[in-house]
Amino acid sequence: MSLTLLAVQTLNGLQLGILLFLVAAGLTLVFGVMDFINLAHGVQYMLGAYLAVAAFQLTGGFWSALPLALLAALACGLALEFVVFRRLYDRSHLDQVLATFGVIIFLNEAVKTIWGAAPLSVPLPALLDGSIPLTETLAYPVYRVALIGAGIAVAALLYLLVTRTRLGMLVRAGASDAEMVAALGVDIRRLFMLVFGFGAMLAGFAGILAAPIFSVEPGMGDNLLILAFVVIVIGGIGSIRGAFLSALIIGLTDTLGRSFATDLARLLLPPAAANDVGPALASMLIYVLMAAVLFVRPAGLFPVRSA
Amino acid sequence: MSRILSALAATALIGTTALVSGALPAAAEGLKIGFLATLSGPPAVLGEHMRDGFLLAVKEGGGKLGGIETDVIVVDDELKPDAALTKVQGLIERDKVDMLAGVVFSNVMMAVYKPIIESETIFVGANAGPSPIAGKGCSKYFFSAAYQNDQNHEVMGRYAAQKGYEKVVVMAPNYQAGKDAIAGFKRHYTGKIVEEIYTKLGQLDFSAELAKISEEKPDALFTFMPGGMGVNLVKQYDQAGLKESVPFLSTFTVDETTLPATKDMGVGLYSGAEWAADLDTPANKKFVASFEATYGYAPSLYAAQGYDAAQLIAGAVAMVGNASDKAALIQALESAPFDSVRGDFSFNTNHFPVQDFYLVQAVKSGDKYTTSIVEKVFDDFGDAYAGSCKM
C-alpha cells in the first residue's frame, strides 16, 4: 500500500462524495424546508442522465447538451411538482412516501419504454478525455478532477445563495419555521416550488455529470437515493453545510473502506476469511458510521431545526 | 425511435400470438408454452433478448413450432423468486401449459425449478444453469439450451493458463454467482491469483478497485460483472487507461446487451462464451440476419439461447408429432433434434449441453458493436457436475 495509492483513493472518495452531495443537497433542502420526503429524488438524478443522453443525441456535443439537459431537468422537476407533489405537502409522511414511491416506479418504467431497458451512455467530452499520470502505474482521469471542481463550485454557489441572498434567508427561515414565514406574508407555495425545482435541477446536474462515467439505465437512481438519505441524516436535515461535509465523509469512508478493508482484515485473519470479512465490513461501514453519529448527535452534525 | 418501434413490434407480436390462439378453441392439439423471463428492472434487457430470440423462432415457423400451432405465454418474473413462483404455478395450473421455457437468473431458477419438475412439466432452460440442477438435483424433465453456470468462467481460466499469465487479479460482486464465477475461473487456471476483489452487488463506482489493480500490475484481470455494473466497470476501466496495459478477461460483462452503452470503450475486451455473432454456421448466419431484420438490434448470446430453446422444442415436437406424449417428447429432446446456431450441440447425461466454448472479443463492424470469435478454447465440453446426476 503506497502513499500514491492512498492519495488516489482519497481523490476517488472525494469524487464520490461530491456526486453524493449534488444529489443530497436538493434532497436536504426539500426535506428541511418543506418537510417533504421525496423518494423520487433519485429518479430525478436518473432523468438528468437520460436527458443528457437525449440532448447529446440531439446536439452531438457534451457542452451544448449540458445546458439543454439542465433546463429539461428543471422543467421535469417543476412539472412533477405541479402535477403530483403540490398535492402532498399537507399530507402525512407516509402518504408522501407512498406517492413518491409510485413516482419512482412510474418514471423507471417510463424511461424503459422510451429509451429501452439496455444501458446507454454519453461519451466523455474531448476536452476532459484523458488522464493525469501520477506515477508509472497510477493515473487519474481528468474528467473526475473536473467533476470534483464542478461539485465544489456548486457547493460554494449554494453556500452564497443560502447565506447571502434574500431568497436564501427565506429558505433558512422556512427550514426553521415555515408557518411563521407564511404568516409574515411570504408566498410559501412559490418558495416551495422554487426550492423544489432547484433541488430537482441539482439532482439532474449530478445525473448529467454521472452519465459519461456511469451506465445510464432504468433504476440507476435507486441505489444513490439510499446513500443520499444517509448523507442528509448524518449532516442534519436541511443543512447544506452538513450535507457537503457528510457527503465527503461518506464518500471517503466508502471508498477507503472498499480499498483497504480486505487488506486490513488480512493482517488479522487467514486470507480466505479475510476475503469474506473485508467486503462485508466495507459495505456496512457507512451505516455503522451513521449509527455512531446518530448515537452521539441524534439531530445530525449540523442540526437546523431548533424545535 | 427504432427501439420504440421494435418494442411496439414485439408487443404486437405477443398480442397477435395471444389473439390467434384465443381464436382457436382447438388448444388440445396446439402447443402451449409458458415463457418466464426477467422483463422489468435494470436487467430487463437480458430477458428481452432471450424472449425476442424465442419468439423469432415461433414467428419463422409461421406461429408454429414443429408444425404444431404454438401459443407462447410470456410472463415477467420481476427478478423476484416469490413472484416467479406464483406466476409459474398460474401457468401450470390455470393455463395448463404443455412446457415451460426461459429463466434468466439463477436465483429465479432455483425457486421455480422444483415445482415445475414436480408437476412433471417439460422445462427448457434458456440461460440460468446453477450447479445444483446440473448435479444431484438434475431431472429428466429439465433440459438446458444454454450452458452450466461455471463453464464460461472455466473458459477464461483455461485461456489465462494457456496464455501463460502468471499474475491475475480476479474481481466479482460479493454474492453467490460472483463466488461461483471465481471458483469456475480457478478450476482451470494454473498461475497465481494475486488479488481477489469482491465488490458490492450493484456497485457504481470502481475507481477504488481500479487504482488497486493499476498498482498490482497483473498480467490480466478476470471479472464477472453482469448488467449495468459491467457497463460502469468497462467505461471506468477505459477511462483509467487500463485497457491498454492489462488484458480484460470477462464473462457476461461484454456482450451485445452492454456494448450499445460502452461502444468503443468496450471494443477489444475479451469474454468467454459458447456463441458469438460471427460463429460460422449456416443456422447462425440466418439467425443473426433474421433477428436484426425483425427487431432492429444485434442479438446477444441470450437471444441465441432463446432461439435455440425454441428450435429444440420444435425439433422434438416435429419428431413426436404431438405435444402431449411426454415420455416420447423427453426421448426426442434427448437426441437434440435441431440445428443449433452454435453448431456442435448434444445433451450430456444431465440434460445440459455438450458444446464448444470460445474466447470472443468485442468488435465494431460498421456502426454495430458485436462479439467475434478469437479462438476455440474447449471442444465438445461438458460440465463438471454431470457425474453426480442420477436420473
Using one digit for the tens of pLDDT, what is the confidence trace for A156-205? 999 898 889 998 888 888 777 778 888 888 888 888 888 899 999 999 99
Report CA torsion sign: B184, B356, B353, B227.
positive
Residue B382 phi/psi, 5° resolution? Answer: -100, 170
Domain closes at, from B206, B240, B273: B273
What total number of domains does chain A contain? 1
Which residues of chain A neighbour B228 with C-beta distances below 8 Å? 119, 215, 217, 220
Would residue B75 count as lying in a domain?
A: yes
pLDDT at B288: 96
What total number of domains does chain B contain? 2
**With the CA atoms of A29, A34, A36 and A40 taken in that order, what torsion angle do they form, in degrees rounded to the nearest 10?**
-50
pLDDT at A70: 95
The residue of chain A nearest to residue B258, with distances taken between CA atoms, is A119
Would residue B364 count as lying in a domain?
A: no
The answer to whether residues B283 and B323 belong to one domain is: yes
Q: Which of A12, A224, A282 sits opposite B211 (nearest CB)?
A: A12
Contact between B232 and A213 using a beta-carbon 8 Å cutoff: yes
Q: Give bridge partners of residue B65 from the DSSP assignment.
A: B68
pLDDT at B331: 95
Ramachandran sector of residue B41 (left: φ over 0; alpha: ψ -120 to 50; beta: rest): left
pLDDT at A305: 57
Name the minimum distance, in Å, from the CA of A96 to any CA of chain B: 23
Would residue A223 count as lying in a domain?
A: no
Tell me the whole-structure pTM to 2 decimals.
Answer: 0.82
The answer to whether residues B267 and B246 belong to one domain is: yes
Contact between A258 and B44 using a beta-carbon 8 Å cutoff: no
Residue B197 belongs to domain with CATH number: 3.40.50.2300
Would residue B138 count as lying in a domain?
A: yes
Please state, in angstroms and as integers, the Cα–Cα distance from residue B286 to each residue in A265, B17, B281, B307, following that order.
Answer: 54, 23, 9, 12
- B residues 98-157 closer than 8 Å to A (CB): none
Would residue A20 count as lying in a domain?
A: yes
Identify the residue among B50, B214, B252 best suited for mutation to test binding to A, counting A beta carbons within 10 A and taking the highest: B214
Which residues of chain B neighbour A143 with C-beta distances below 8 Å? 239
pLDDT tens, residue by residue, A99-152: 999 999 999 989 989 998 888 888 888 888 888 887 777 778 899 999 999 999
The answer to whether residues B251 and B309 belong to one domain is: no
Cα(B56)–Cα(B10) distance, rounded to whole angstroms?
10
How far does chain B reach from its first CA to its final CA, in angstroms? 49
For cell 469524487, the residue is A15
Q: Which domain holds residue B193?
A: 150-273
Contact between B261 and A118 using a beta-carbon 8 Å cutoff: yes
Q: Given the cut 0.85, state whether the ipTM is greater than it.
A: no
The answer to whether residues B141 and B284 belong to one domain is: yes
Residue B213: all three cell numbers together: 489493480
Contact between A259 and B212 using a beta-carbon 8 Å cutoff: yes
The answer to whether residues B34 and B126 belong to one domain is: yes
Contact between A119 and B212 using a beta-carbon 8 Å cutoff: no
Please state, in angstroms and as integers, the Cα–Cα distance from residue A2 to each residue in A135, B212, B215, B324, following that order.
Answer: 11, 10, 9, 67
Would residue B367 count as lying in a domain?
A: no
B2 touches chain A (CB under 8 A): no
User: What is the identity of the amino acid at A14?
Assistant: L
pLDDT at B126: 96
The answer to whether residues B38 and B124 belong to one domain is: yes
A277 touches chain B (CB under 8 A): no
Q: How distant is the alpha carbon of residue B360 from its chain centre?
A: 15
Domain closes at, from B248, B273, B298: B273
Q: Is the pLDDT of residue A307 over 90?
A: no
- A residues 168-227 closer than 8 Å to B (CB): 212-220, 223-224
DSSP reduced 3-state for B287:
helix
Contact between A255 and B207 using a beta-carbon 8 Å cutoff: yes
Domain closes at, from B273, B302, B335: B273
Would residue B371 count as lying in a domain?
A: no
Would residue A233 count as lying in a domain?
A: no
Would residue A247 count as lying in a domain?
A: no
The answer to whether residues B120 and B9 belong to one domain is: yes
DSSP reduced 3-state for A247:
helix
The answer to whether residues B300 and B216 belong to one domain is: no
Which residues of chain B neighbour A131 with C-beta distances below 8 Å? 239-241
The answer to whether residues B112 and B248 belong to one domain is: no
The answer to whether residues B32 and B59 belong to one domain is: yes
Q: What is the mean pLDDT of each run of 10 residues along chain B (391 residues)?
A: 37 38 48 93 87 96 94 93 94 94 93 94 95 93 95 95 95 88 94 92 86 91 91 90 92 93 92 94 96 95 97 95 92 95 94 96 91 95 93 83
Mean pLDDT, residues A88-100: 91
pLDDT tens, residue by residue, A197-256: 999 999 999 999 999 988 898 888 888 899 999 999 999 888 888 999 999 999 999 999
The answer to whether residues B208 and B296 belong to one domain is: no
Would residue B370 count as lying in a domain?
A: no
Would residue B78 count as lying in a domain?
A: yes
Around B156, how many Cα atoms within 13 Å sit in the side-chain half-sphere? 32
Overall residue count recorded for chain A in this entry:
307
Q: Which residues make Cβ contacts (< 8 Å) with residue A183, sequence separation at least 6?
A: none
Name the minimum distance, in Å, from the CA of A110 to any CA of chain B: 11
> In the structure, what pLDDT confidence band is assigned to residue A1 with cuts at 50, 70 and 90?
low
The answer to whether residues B194 and B292 belong to one domain is: no
Q: Which domain holds residue A109?
A: 3-218
